[in-house]
Chain A
């Protein structure tokens, strides 16, 4: 049976037009999903791809990742910075997934460290044993999927 991968996209990612300023032109979430499906198919992974602006729903997805999936890729958007969203819930969920030795990779479309960020202030990225890919545009997802695939083959 194919390994099951869940890709979660966080708040605001239904509209990707704001990434134009980073040089990632004409991106839509549908394009990202299509590319992810193609990559997963070529590697023999089955994929569920979702997006939500709702914190409770995102938490549900994370809980499902623990139970029903073999690997998780998450674009947490502002969860990555200790923000108004509940950072503790996010990190404890990610930790639960990684405690089960499942590959988890955090992805971002743009390089989150690049624009208007004070580099002397550390950014909190996901805690727990996770990989991190940021700034490759749509290819951030592709790289993450390949990395997940290689890790799953090793386990």
Chain B
């Protein structure tokens, strides 16, 4: 299984940005952990991060072209604004998971609307940095039951 884990703006600051909300783990350590977990089950996990909306759209388009099996997307603040990412995800027919480190529904009201949620298969939020590895672990089981 080929999996893209796409991360949006400011996720590169993990570990230093508001650690009381996002924790102390860095994106680098999360990605290493996920790639290792994926390899164990025979999955190829690619981690990416961009602060640019257009680049995220291009990665999703690339996932369509490359026939990637699953996208895990933490669109961060673009979650609440980006119709472009919403549209791109709609065209991707593989398994799609929206992920957030904190639970946006418990935070400021401007984070309560997600343009991503209606176009994905599943939503995971508020499990901290561990959310990533939990999702990667589960994808093997999902592959069995959905394909």
Mark A residues whose CB is within 8 Å of B.
23, 105, 111, 113-114, 117, 119-120, 122-125, 127-140, 142-143, 146-147, 150-151
Contacts and interface: CB of A to CB of B under 8 A. Distances in A.
Given A132-B105, A139-B145, A111 B125 contact: no
Interface residues of B, number: 29
Interface in B77-132: 97, 103, 105-106, 109, 112-115, 117-118, 120-127, 130-131
Contacts of A140: 122
A147 to B, nearest CB: 5
B123 A133 contact: yes
Contacts of A105: 126-127
Main SS at interface, chain A: loop
User: What 10 A-B pairs have minimum CB-CB distances, sorted nearest first?
Assistant: A135-B122, A113-B117, A122-B112, A131-B126, A132-B125, A125-B105, A134-B123, A131-B127, A147-B127, A136-B122
A113 B103 contact: no
Contacts of B141: 139, 142
A136 B139 CA distance: 10
B106 A135 contact: no
B145 A119 contact: no
Contact of A130 (B103, B114, B121): B103
Nearest to B103: A132
A138 to B, nearest CB: 8
B52 interface: no
Contacts of A119: 113-115, 117-118
A70 B130 CA distance: 19
